[in-house]
Every structure is written in C-alpha cells, then in structure tokens.
C-alpha cells in the first residue's frame, strides 16, 4: 500500500467531512499523521484531543501533520514541514520518533534516500539506513539553563531536585526540555510515582520530560521516559538522545555510539561534533483510514 497516496485520497462517498490518516509507530511510540499541505484551516484543540483519543479517535501519543515548508524552510532545502501536537492539544517543537516516521513517508513519496524536514526546532536531516530503518540528525543539545529553560540559574549537570528514587539529575534542551536521572536499577513502576513531581516542578516553567536511565555498561543504557503532558511512553527518541549525551557528560559512557534500550525496543545514538546526535531506529505502520474532520473541515 502506498500510504502517501492514501493520504491524498478524498473522503469516502457519502462522508464528505472525513479526512484520511495513517497511523505509524516508532518502537510503539504511536502517531496519527495527516497530510495538510492542501489544507489551510487552523486546527482546534478539541480536534487534536479527539483524534489522539483511544476511545473516540484514531488513538496516538501525538498528532503529526505534513505541511508546506515556510519560505525559510524552502531556502534551507526542506521538502516538507512537520507540526507535532501532544494529546492535550499543545504543540511540541521536537520528537525524534515522530521525525523518523514522517521521514519514512516522505522518502517513500520522493523515492530518495535523504530528505530535509522543517520543524519548530529547525530543519532536520533524515536518511534511510535500511528496510524501514531511518536516521535523523538532532541537536544541538544544550545544558544552558536559559535554553532548557529553568526558572533560575542552576548547575544543569546536577539538578537541585529530588523525588523518591530520582535525584541529582541533568537538565538539557534538544528542541524540548528534558531532565535525565540515573538510577542503579530501572524500575518502571517507580516512574509514575516519582516523575510527575519533577515534570511539574516550578523550576521548569514549560514543564519537562523526565528520563530515568540505568547505565548497563560504557556503551549501553536502559531507559524509560515520562513525557509531557504526563504519560509513560514505550519510547522517546529525544529522551534517548539526551540520556546518551548526559551519560557522556557524566563520564558514565565512553563510546561515541550508544545503544539505548527502551520498553518498546532499541535505538542507536551516535554522539557527533558540535553537540549533535544521530538517532537511528525502526518505523512501522499500524493502520490507515478516515477520521471525522470536525472543525478542521
């Protein structure tokens, strides 16, 4: 099935207010994708919440839209733009797994091996690296408290916060804010108990994604991520990137390529120059169909 061709289809006969969607996942990180390159109308928050709902919508952790690139994006060589919406309707600047899924669709559309995608975090370079395996170059990663951001100046390599088993974390920015906490043993049940206090702490005026990492050896990390707006996800691409970077900054890993094992599967993170990273992993299709357009129509 040519999924991009499906996304360009019109609504079924007798259902004029329905839009085609494709649902994909990167390591069980689920996305509902709409092609809005020919649609100018603004999304309403209630549309986003409904579409992402597992009860009344297609069900996803984020809604992704394919958009026409801006003039600046075109100047930078972007083939298309991507917007990312969380399940609460708020727009996010970056998502590594979402970018890989979007890149796969656009690579299939173009027949190319490389594509540039404009996002709110910049124009991202994506490549096909195997059968439904995609890499994306992300960054730069910053430890600057003003970029994270935090509400006051702090040592971001040693966060002055503690919640249960989470202490002495690292705050970073990779298009979105993250806090990484290293533990001796990763226990998934502990994360919903202790991560929300960090996510909603006044130190983070925009909230923060909370990553909990166990360093297995100098090139392997086990990781789980509590994402804004408050879900324990099976995988988080940007979380894997900052966890590898933070582990390097702390001296816990020494290899330039780090294997990050998440509940949904494995990502390879390559730490390169200028605080950039290359994230590589698989993508997969779930289903496609039509969803009620609502206020989008």
Q: Could you give the residue numbers annotated as active site? A: 95, 236
Beta strands in 164-203, from DSSP E residues, in sequence order: 166-167, 170-173, 177-182
For the chain, report the end-to-end CA distance as a whole number of angstroms. Answer: 26
18 and 292 Cβ atoms separated by less than 8 Å: yes
Structure pTM?
Answer: 0.90
Distance CA 101, CA 235 (A): 13
163-201 core/surface letters (b: 16 or more CB in 10 A; e: else): bebbeebbbbbbbbbbbbbbbeebeeebbeebbeebbeb
List of residues 6+ apart from 96 with CB closer than 8 A: 26, 136, 138, 236, 237, 238, 240, 241, 279
Q: Which of 249, 297, 294 minimizes the C-alpha distance to 48?
A: 294
Residue-level pLDDT, tens digit, the chain, 297 residues = 567 766 766 656 455 678 899 999 999 999 999 999 988 777 789 999 999 998 888 999 999 999 999 999 999 999 999 999 999 999 988 899 999 999 999 999 999 999 999 999 899 999 999 999 999 999 999 999 999 999 999 999 999 999 999 999 999 999 999 999 999 999 999 999 999 999 999 999 999 999 999 999 999 999 999 998 889 999 999 999 999 999 999 999 998 999 999 999 999 999 999 999 999 999 999 999 998 877 555
């Amino acid at each position: 099935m040519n999924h991009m061709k499906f996304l360009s289809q019109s609504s079924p006969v007798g259902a004029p207010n329905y839009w085609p969607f494709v649902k994909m996942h990167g390591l069980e990180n689920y996305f509902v994708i709409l092609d809005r390159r020919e649609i100018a109308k603004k999304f309403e928050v209630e549309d986003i919440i409904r579409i992402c709902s597992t009860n009344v919508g297609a069900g996803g952790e984020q809604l992704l839209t394919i958009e026409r690139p801006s003039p600046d994006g075109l100047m930078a060589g972007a083939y298309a733009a991507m917007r990312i919406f969380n399940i609460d309707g708020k727009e996010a600047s970056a998502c590594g797994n979402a970018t890989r899924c979007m890149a796969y669709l656009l690579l299939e559309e173009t027949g190319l091996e490389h594509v540039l995608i404009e996002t709110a975090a910049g124009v991202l370079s994506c490549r096909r690296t195997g059968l439904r395996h995609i890499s994306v170059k992300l960054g730069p990663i910053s430890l600057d408290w003003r970029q994270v951001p935090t509400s006051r100046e702090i040592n971001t390599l040693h966060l002055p916060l503690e919640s249960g088993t989470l202490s002495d974390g690292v705050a970073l920015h990779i298009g979105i804010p993250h806090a990484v906490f290293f533990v001796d043993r990763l226990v998934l049940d502990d994360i919903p108990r202790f991560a929300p206090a960090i996510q909603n702490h006044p130190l983070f005026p925009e909230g923060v994604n909370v990553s909990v990492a166990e360093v297995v050896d100098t090139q392997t990390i086990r990781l789980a991520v509590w994402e804004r707006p408050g879900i324990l996800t099976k995988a988080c691409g940007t979380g894997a990137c900052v966890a590898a970077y933070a582990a390097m900054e702390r001296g816990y890993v020494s290899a330039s390529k780090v294997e990050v094992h998440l509940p949904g599967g494995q990502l390879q993170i390559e730490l390169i120059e200028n605080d950039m990273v290359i994230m590589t992993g698989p993508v997969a299709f779930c289903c496609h169909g039509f969803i009620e357009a609502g206020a989008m129509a």
